[in-house]
Structure 1
């Protein structure tokens, strides 16, 4: 891949929004980007671009518990490719294979995790790709670090793009708690099948999804599932 580094750095220097910085990064050969920052009481998250449905499957099936990429984020002190994390993992081989298979189903064969922020306030820029990324990471590592740092500064804690996911459990109604747990236990069910199993109409189930998300301080039902699974770890 031929890159004009001077031009790329100039583009990053002039970038005024997270969206623009995201687009510059993705143009280098990536198909997805997620930003996360871990505070004591909550996680700040921005799904800059992510394949629809991936997070519901990933967290709904609790595959994050076996994901070497996720584990490395909290234990490694350097940035890395997905392939490196998988090669250095001691995770259950069968479940690690399930995780990798899910990534591939959503067009994420490999990727790069760029660790940013301060030690007391860790953050990361997670990039996904439909192709192996080791060579790309070696060639563009410096620029990617620069871009990730730029994005981290742009996405300050008060930024409107960030979703703040509180770590404290919200108070849900009995039905809402049942719906949330059923999604976690049976991610393979469609909304229609789940509504039938709960004795609800699809419209009522959707209304509960919105209330569950709001009580959890997130914008989507999938976000509520993610929060619940993260707190259970």
Structure 2
């Protein structure tokens, strides 16, 4: 087996890798500092589509983590890029927050509930039964169904919350139509992120806390993968999957010396 090339660029998940329940994970600040000092291209990724790049920059800054806006890549941005490639300046009915609606406005999409090209489901703090009913009817009338990510639950200080994947399953049950998920583990999100920073998969690494999204997406995009034990996947669960990360480490702190 050929020896891997040195890592020249880094992609890392946010929740469970850099922060946990609103608190920085020890070593995250030093890892980010080392990345900036090395001048290696990097992106902080999140499947959460609620927030804009500016929002996330401010949220991380309040926690003491300095991540420039241009180094943040969300499933909302990946979804907008996908739609811009598929059907430029189209129309969409959106269930989601500012992160998603802003990304769609930025590519010239019109948001409407009148015969839209797409129904787009993202993360939101309050899923409305009325909005889901409208989405079901629009999909039944021919709108294409897109979802920002397949995560069934999301983190909160009180515990797990229903997320995009769970609501998508409800809409699928009512329509018989499955959505196209743009976010992780779809390697499309990873490849678009790599393109955004001018990186190549052969010399890039993905750090994540979930085997079923982060590691799988990195693997399918052709990157080296590092699994940390500070988030969702527990040590006794790693061997249950039919694929393995390049390396399992306790936390982001164990990767500082690799930058």
TM superposition score category, shorter chain reference? under 0.3
Q: Which has the higher helix share?
A: 1
Normalised to the residue count of structure 2, the TM-score between the two structures is 0.24
In the superposition, the TM-score normalised over structure 1's length comes to 0.26
